[in-house]
Amino acid sequence: MCVKRKPLALRPRHPWRPVRNSEKLVAAAFQLARQAWPVPLSALAKKAKLSPRALSAMGMATHHDVLNLMVAHTTGQITHKPVDGACVRDKLFELLMQRMDLLSPHRPALNNIINSAARHAPTALHLARAQRAACQAMLKHVGADPSPLLPMGLMAVYACTLQSFLADTTPDLSRTMAALDRHLGRAEKIWGVLRCENTTGK
């Protein structure tokens, strides 16, 4: 697979459009998560310069809701336009690498969130649900065949690649790209067998 990639093009924000409250909250959450996770809602509100009423209007009742928003916001940043690629695997490669590009400045925060999920089952459950929704959105965006198994497979690919990403010190994330290509190759074989079995069983 060719590893030359175009620079990530984020969703444009016009100068006249004020920053949305959700964007403020996500930025504040990533900043505070660099020190620890979970973060109290009061601290998040103060960092984002939002009132408790504003957080309540956004449906932010706990830090789990904020975590869901962080994952969904990242997904929205990479699914707002068509993605390059000759096939589903290539498109997933590009989309996941765009996700890594976005998350690259937030690796200390990701480490703390993942460590928190390893210690607290509720955090792990909410993170898994948010990641599943993100994988479903990415699969839909690249035109993958609908299947209840594919999001689980992509979650596994992402989780395995994330380990390489968090330890990757290369400026172009070349180690992450190699790991993602390898994991997608393995998943492609499994998904191919599953599609074949489904077709045969019809």
Q: 178 Cβ partners below 8 Å, 6+ apart?
A: 3, 164
Residues in the chain predicted with pLDDT less than 50, given as ranges, are 1-3, 7-11, 13-17, 193-202
Q: What is the pLDDT of residue 27?
A: 97
Whether 73 and 23 have beta carbons less than 8 Å apart is answered as yes
Give the pTM. Answer: 0.85
Helices (H) and strands (E) in the chain, counts: 9, 0
The CA angle 169-173-176, to the nearest 5 degrees, is 100
Q: What is the pLDDT of residue 128?
A: 96
At 72, list the tokens: 């969904």
Distance CA 48, CA 31 (A): 10
Hey, what's the torsion of the CAs at 109, 8, 78, 162, to 10 degrees?
Answer: -40
What count of residues does the chain have?
Answer: 202
